[in-house]
Structure 1
Amino acid sequence: MDPATPLLAISRAISSRSRSFPASSPHNILLRGRPLTAPLGRAPVFAASAQRRFAVNGDVLLLSLARLALRGPASPRAGPRRWFASVSVSPLASAGPPGGGCGRGNGDGGGGGDGGGDGWKRPRASQGMAVAEEAAGLEADTIILDVGGMSCGGCAASVKRILENESQVVSATVNLATEMAVVWAVPEDRAVQDWKLQLGEKLASQLTTCGYKSSQRDSSKVSSQNVFERKMGEKLQNLKQSGRELAVSWALCAVCLLGHISHLFGVNAPLMHMFHSTGFHLSLSIFTFIGPGRRLIVDGLKSLFKGSPNMNTLVGLGALSSFAVSSVAAFIPKLGWKTFFEEPIMLIAFVLLGKNLEQRAKLKAASDMTGLLNILPSKARLMVDNDAEQSSFTEVPCGTLAVGDYILVLPGDRIPADGLVKAGRSTVDESSLTGEPMPVTKIAGAEVSAGSINLNGKLTVEVRRPGGETVMSDILHLVEEAQTREAPVQRLADKVAGNFTYGVMALSSATFMFWSIFGSQFVPAAIQQGSAMSLALQLSCSVLVIACPCALGLATPTAVLVGTSLGATRGLLLRGGDVLEKFAEVDAIVFDKTGTLTIGKPVVTKVIASHSEGGVNTKDSWNNEWTEGDILSLAAGVESNTNHPLGKAIMEAAQAANCINMKAKDGSFMEEPGSGAVATIGEKQVSVGTVDWIRRHGVVRDPFPEAESFGQSVAYVAVDGTLAGLICFEDKIREDSHQVISALSKQGISVYMLSGDKESAAMDVASVVGIQLDKVISEVKPHEKKKFISELQKEHKLVAMVGDGINDAAALALADVGIAMGGGVGAASDVSSVVLMGNRLSQLVDALELSKETMRTVKQNLWWAFLYNIVGLPVAAGALLPVTGTMLTPSIAGALMGFSSVSVMANSLLLRARMSSRHHVQSREKPHNTISGVSDGADEVEQSYPSKWRST
């Protein structure tokens, strides 16, 4: 009986009931990437970590086991591929499976029905985290390896296979363009402190043994910057060596062709007959093999003997086969075979030309990263003492700066470290960090960032974040990390490239057999001057040489490299190819109101005591004697413990009005995001927040029901359960908000707005910026924002959330694309996929356009790579020979192969040109939309927003 039959029968039997099982049902199985370590009776032990795993129903597991049964045992080459299950109680059990099944699975896994809860979401930290935990609940850690010796997509696939065959490795991604591998692994024993170092060295050793020289990288930001510099230096050295090999190979090629050229032009010089001799061409071929072609051929043969053939293997086999056939023809003339010693010479010359152009294109693709690196100065002026007027200075390397040092920055200098201006006044160009072209004024108390340019004044700066701790180092680290995350569209190309060389070698063998047996029957004219065997060998060599797995391997990484680096130079941090792909397909965008559609700097416009609204005495029996100044002082005392924008506005207003400075009692402060805060000041309990918040703290009556129609944000202040008054706020709407909403709507994207503010204030903002009022949700708590995103994901393909990281971190994390603005690199930690460094909403449209253009380039590259091989391989195998009499020689096939790889690289580089030209056109067509307080020629420290309220 078929071994899968019982499992399929059981699956069908429980399929109709599986969705109704509660979360604690044993039929709710967790698919894992580790062996089964816990019996059913111990399932509750693992419930604590079940929240971080993905759950599917039992019928999905049985169906999967049935597929395994149908597939049969794994091949020996597969290695220890682990695919087992562990049982756990999981509240996510009703969610859809990653790959479909019952319930809708949001995220990478997709969905397979209408049932199931909010859907499974892959952890955002990395693609490799999809199965990143051990059965004991351990999370996978990241190991970064620098991998050399990869020449094509087949090499990258081999490296990935070697890494994932290690038992501790959960998953791995390999980037051919950046020559880097990222491994997600779990320890066998957490007690071993340096297990990551040991495992990394072990993996690097295994790869080096297999021909891919590797080393483990320190994950620190300083190391990342140093490694990038070292790798760029190595690439430049390799380019120089490649240039020397290219020059020698083409010199040999020219000498080889000299005889043909002399014959063509009828030159009969005394020594010219030597260039026609077979022995001379044989000698040139040998010189080519031991000279410029030595590295290529040796690498190809080594890879073949180690079981991981690559592009160099195909070229090497093609060149050696041509040489071998020509040698046999030369030493055994009676066979009647033609000699073509010029073919391996020309083949290697063309291949080296393609490789040289490819290396140049890779360096060009990384030029944006190089530009980011070069904006950091190497020297700094360290002040001998802290007297800004009298101090002398000495030049020191930037790497020696420490926190607390004082540095002098003169006009025209790049600032060497992040810090705080202690003396001086100047304007600073921060375009390299934020993409904002307008200079920003810096005065004492303002923050400055490393890499920005001091334009016209002298500044004394106290170092706060030196070296690898600067914002620019964070940007470099994040951009490099982004380039390790592959786009899902690349996975098909990776699968094809993994076995591509074996398929090409098989096709070459089939071509040889076909033409050696049937060649004389199909094309008698083609072998009139030779033999069927000679023709078959030529065609089989052409098949080996024309194949281009390199184009498949470079199609996505090069475009992602250019796209993410280009974004970083414009203040757009996009965290990987997967983010680019998702963002390009987003069809719904949700905006937070405060700090996103508004500038996030509310000011106090009105303070109202409960006994004096509109000049009418509303004083009740509770004898409220609080004045407007008292209310502001009490509220400021509570809000001094929070960083909420409204809290900051209250404190600024209290300071501007010279209100009494009140302090909350230690340990009495409590805050509920989205609702309010409470603290004890003196002997009184003071609550500041929404009307619901103060009601929960004892207020039973609201004498201001008309406050809901104010059209402004309102914070209520209560003292000991009595409403003392309220504070009204106004937050300026960003000038580019309406333009951005309009641009998104024209692209067919549904735009929503969430706000914790009251309905009237939210509707006023929505009407100004152009959001449909039926797509505005007001008075939502942070957890309700997350729930709204989840509900929206059931209606739309992909959902993006735009926020400032305050009270919306959970929603940013849940969204398919989380977009943080105004928070700098810190906002890019774990919750956001995209960071708008310039704090301009218009950058959202720029990021969306960049994502779409990058993915369009990726798809063009993949189409070209697949189409080239689909068409080129049959032509090289002689498909046109019976019809047109046309065939490709190995040298022409080699030239086409090099052209294919270079075409992919060139198309990726055109992405920069297309985006740059479009950016310049837009700059000429419309002026820059400046935002008050952000890019209006003054820094936020100087361009403050004073309270509009004044005490009377």
Structure 2
Amino acid sequence: MANYPENILSISDIEKIIDGEDIVDIYNHNLSGLKKNCIYAMLFCIPLLVIVILFNKINYANYIMWVLATPVVIIFGKQFFIKAWKQIRYFTTNVDTLVALSTGTAYIVSVFNTFYPSFWAGKGLEAYVYFEVSAVIVAFVLLGRYLEYKAKRNITVAIKQLIGLQPSTATVFKDGQLIKTPIKDIRIGDEIFVRPGERIAVDGKITRGGSFINESMISGEAMPVEKNEGKKVYAGTVNEANSFYFEAYKVGRNTLIGQIVKMVQDGESSRIPVIKAVDKVSSIFIPIIGITAIVTFFTWLLFSPDDGFTQGLSSMIAVLIMACPCALGLATPTAIMAGIDNGAANGILIKGDEALENAKKLTAVVLDKTGTITEGIFRVTDMKWLTEATPELKGILYRIESYSEHPLANAVRTYIRDDMRAEPDMKVSSLSGRGLMGETVSRKYYVGTSKLLEEYQVEISDKEKKWIDRETEKSNTIVLFACETALLAIIAITDAVKETSLSAIDRMKRAGLKLYMLTGDSKRSADMTAGKAGIDTENVMAGALPAGKAAFIKALREQGETVAMTGDGINDVGALAMADVSVAMGKGSDIAMEVAQVTVVSSDLNKLVQTINLSKITTRTIHQNLFWAFIFNAIGIPVAAGILFPVNGFLLEPLFAGIVMALSSVTVIGNSLLLRKKPI
């Protein structure tokens, strides 16, 4: 298998994150451990190489080199031998097998020759040692893995930004008291109290009270959802209105936050098809190298009776060292990690393995509407006053809307902020699910829906109803402002098409991609949004249910299209799973992000265009790395076996085989790291 770096997160790391520890702190701790191992190995290798090159004839040189090499091989390199043993037990091989075989052989032979040189002296031969070879291989492979792991830093930071502020404690109601409790100590069945503005710590069901919950991480919709007794609430969502109690029914890794962390773990260890090809080649390559090494030894023994044993052993070790496919093993993962790092630096979190393989082949892109094409942020598009729009009335409206954190209320406040006078003293109360009521000394005012006005017998004329109908057909949301006796103002609020969506759609059209839009809105509303965005209305599916969206993607694929789907809600999950490349917006649900291969932190569609470009340059870098790695092995192994010896007497010593092998790995890593800074 390819030579992968250590996982970003172990199972114990996941538990720590769920318990409230910072993912970046855990990553830095793991990176620090890898860095220390790499530095210590290098520090031991430096004097070892100095002795080999300049002082190999001094007394006790072999013993000094043994002391220097042993910590590198036994302590810092033990992971290779442990993993190789696990592979052998199941009759499989990977790169760790060859690293362990080459370094282990060089080390054991060197220890034997150090302590029993008389064995060779009796045969008239010199007892060579290869401590520097075993240590240098371990040090360079550790360096490669450190560089790969380091390349994951940006994606770790970006994921931290995505999941936002994770609450470390919650207020549990126990024995008649409210007790601040760490998340790790919360159990299923605990009753938890949530204040306005607080983030919900675990998944549960409301037992007392009710509120409006911002569930943008679940549905992708900016509009808070009203929740009453018996309704479910989810970890990571925000309470925007009233205090309430809920009973925990999912804790730990089963919550929304736990699923996001799992997405990180799964995505970090995923593989693209070219990696699978490398794995297959490596499983065949390694046994062949073992046979080649044995044949090399016996060939020297047969054709050079005098010093065949020594030269054969030396050449066999050189073959094993030269064949160590560090460059081959590093070719793909370093490019993938550099590509992931480049994506993360640009706000693109790449999880799916096929995403980097398929993005460059896309022919069609299907876009969800809300939060993908549109902003997901509400703005006032029109405000029709039915009386004189005095600063005093605007101040009353502003005061009432200030009581709510609802996105519609925020849109109204933003719109009238500069035109109002001081807010009057008044009592404001929430009318659950309908709107707000404000009371001054002399009058009551209402802000909400038409149902609220009907309830308080405030009439709406036919003329105003027609105006409301027209605005509704434009996909606008209507908010009404009234006093006890008359309607005062009608406010039209919309979720506008993002400027970035307009530019991204134009870029995709110019690239020859076919564009489609799916939405649950009415056909007329959907067509209007599509027209603004520059999408052909014939490519719009309105009133789409989850099954319909998935069927739409399936139909496109059956027509021979390579399809990308972008979405953010639970209703998009089926379509995301069906697509060749699935993209979730950063404000999407946990399930959508888990299913999707790519998450766009900023919800900017231009990032999809960048993902396509990144796919092209990453795949090109992988192919370059594989070419040089295979060429290196194809040329180096015969030379190490001694094929040039009959021609010009050249024989590659194991030390120089190790140096050449290391330089090849450095070349591959360097080529991959260039990808991190390439513009996309």
TM-score interval, smaller chain:
0.5 to 0.7
Pick from 303, 307, 317 the counterpart of residue 105 of structure 2.
Answer: 317
1:178 equivalenced with 2:178 (yes/no)? no
Equivalent position SS for 1:838: coil
> Structure 1 813/408 Cα, relative in aligned 2: closer, same or farther at 3 Å?
closer
Secondary structure, aligned partner of 1:178:
coil
Q: Which residue of 2 aligns with 1:840?
A: 604
Task: Map 1:797-946 to 2 at 5 A.
Answer: 797-805=561-569, 808-821=572-585, 823-828=587-592, 831-882=595-646, 885-914=649-678, 918=679
The 5-angstrom pairing of residues 564-713 of structure 1 reads 564=340, 567=343, 571-599=347-375, 656=447, 659-661=450-452, 712=474
1:380–1:407 CA contact under 8 A, matched in 2:
no
Q: Deviations over 1:240-291 (max 9, x none)?
A: 355334423432432343346xxxxxxxxxxxxxx356xx344345445645
Amino acid at match of 1:801: M
Aligned counterpart, 1:340? 128
Correspondence for 1:9: none
- Residues in 2 aligned to 1:729 and 1:416: alpha-carbon distance in whole angstroms: 28
Structure with greater contact order relative to length (CA < 8 Å, sep ≥ 6): 2
> Which amino acid letter does the alignment assign opposite residue 450 of structure 2?
C
**Native 8 Å contact 2:17 2:23 kept in 1:** no
1:238 is displaced (CA, Å) by 5.5
- The residue type equivalent to 1:502 in the other structure is P
Which residue in 1 is equivalent to 2:551? 787
Shift of 1:790: 2.0
Structure 2 Cα separation of the partners of residues 868 and 366 of structure 1: 28
CA deviation profile, 1:611-662 (whole Å, cap 9, x unmatched): xxxxxxxxxxxxxxxxxxxxxxxxxxxxxxxxxxxxxxx9789975663439
Identity %: 27
Residues 1:796 and 1:235: Cα distance change in structure 2 (over 3 Å): same
Change (3 A) 1:504 1:757: same
2:24–2:160 contact (8 Å) kept in structure 1: no
- Partner in structure 2 of residue 943 of structure 1: none
Residue 542 of structure 1: CA displacement?
Answer: 0.5
1:776 corresponds, among 528, 535, 539, to 539
Counterpart for residue 291 of structure 2: 506
Give the corresponding residue for 2:152. Answer: 366
For the residue of structure 1 that corresponds to 2:366, the secondary structure is strand
Shift of 1:508: 0.6
| Equivalent-residue separation in structure 2 for 1:304 and 1:826 (angstroms) | 35
Give yes or no for contact 1:822–1:838 (8 Å, CA) kept in 2.
yes
1:824 and 1:408 mapped to 2: Cα distance? 20
- Partners of 1:292 and 1:256 in 2: CA distance: 16
**Amino acid of the structure 1 residue aligned with 2:100:** N
Q: Show the 5 A alignment for 1:749-760.
A: 749-754=513-518
Shift of 1:361: 1.2
Report the residue type matching 1:826 in the other structure. D
Is the contact between residue 259 and residue 594 of structure 2 (CA under 8 Å) also seen in structure 1?
Answer: no
Q: Please state how far the C-alpha of 1:507 moved relative to its aligned partner.
A: 0.9
3-state secondary structure, aligned to 2:450: coil
Q: Deviations over 1:769-822 (max 9, x none)?
A: 33456x624546434443332221123352112234375443333222232336
Query: Following superposition of structure 1 onto structure 2, how do residues 179-194 of structure 1 map, counting pairs within 5 Å?
Result: none
Residue 227 (structure 2) aligns with: none
In structure 2, C-alpha distance between the alignment counterparts of 1:757 and 1:868, rounded to whole Å: 59
2-structure distance, mates of 1:257, 1:834: 50
CA distance, structure 2, for counterparts of residue 713 and residue 378 of structure 1 = 34
Query: Partners of 1:378 and 1:798 in 2: how far apart?
Result: 37
Gaps of 5+ in 2: 172-178, 204-216, 223-234, 384-432, 438-445, 456-465, 478-490
Q: Distance in 2 between matches of 1:869 and 1:582?
A: 29
For the residue of structure 2 that corresponds to 1:824, the secondary structure is coil
SS of 1:517's partner is: helix
Shift of residue 368 of structure 1? Answer: 2.7
What TM-score, normalized by structure 2, do the two folds share?
Answer: 0.63
Kept in 1, the 8 Å contact 2:152–2:340? The answer is: no
Q: What is the match of residue 679 of structure 1?
A: none
Q: How many residues are paired up?
A: 548
Please give the residue correspondences for 1:204-283 in structure 2 after superposition, counting only pairs within 5 Å: 222=18, 233=29, 236-237=32-33, 239-259=35-55, 275-276=57-58, 280-283=60-63
Paired with 1:463 and 1:509, the residues of 2 have a C-alpha distance of 72
Counterpart residue number, 1:540: 316
- Give the conservation status (yes or no) of the 8 Å contact 2:137–2:662: yes
Instruction: Decide whether the 8 Å contact of 2:51 with 2:65 is kept in 1.
Output: no
**Cα distance, 1:737 vs structure 2:** 2.3
CA distance in 2, matches of 1:461, 1:855: 52
Give TM-score scaled by structure 1 length.
Answer: 0.47
Distance in 1, matches of 2:518 and 2:182, equals 48
Whether 1:531 and 2:311 are equivalent positions in the alignment is no
Query: Matches of 1:331 and 1:826 in 2, distance apart?
Result: 66
Distance 2:590 2:448 in 1: 33
1:414-452 deviations in Å (ceiling 9; x for gaps): x99899xxxxxxxxxxxxx9xxxxxx9xxxxxxxx9999
Question: How much does 1:589 deviate?
Answer: 0.8
For residues 602 and 114 of structure 2, what CA distance do their matches in structure 1 show?
A: 64
1:126-147 deviation digits (Å, cap 9, x = unpaired) = xxxxxxxxxxxxxxxxxxxxxx
Match of 2:413 in 1: none
Local SS of the residue matching 2:604: coil
Distance 1:177 1:503, change over 3 A: farther
2:582 aligns to what SS in structure 1?
A: strand
Q: Deviations over 1:356-385 (max 9, x none)?
A: 4224314412323554688889998999xx
The alpha carbon displacement at 1:337 in A equals 3.9
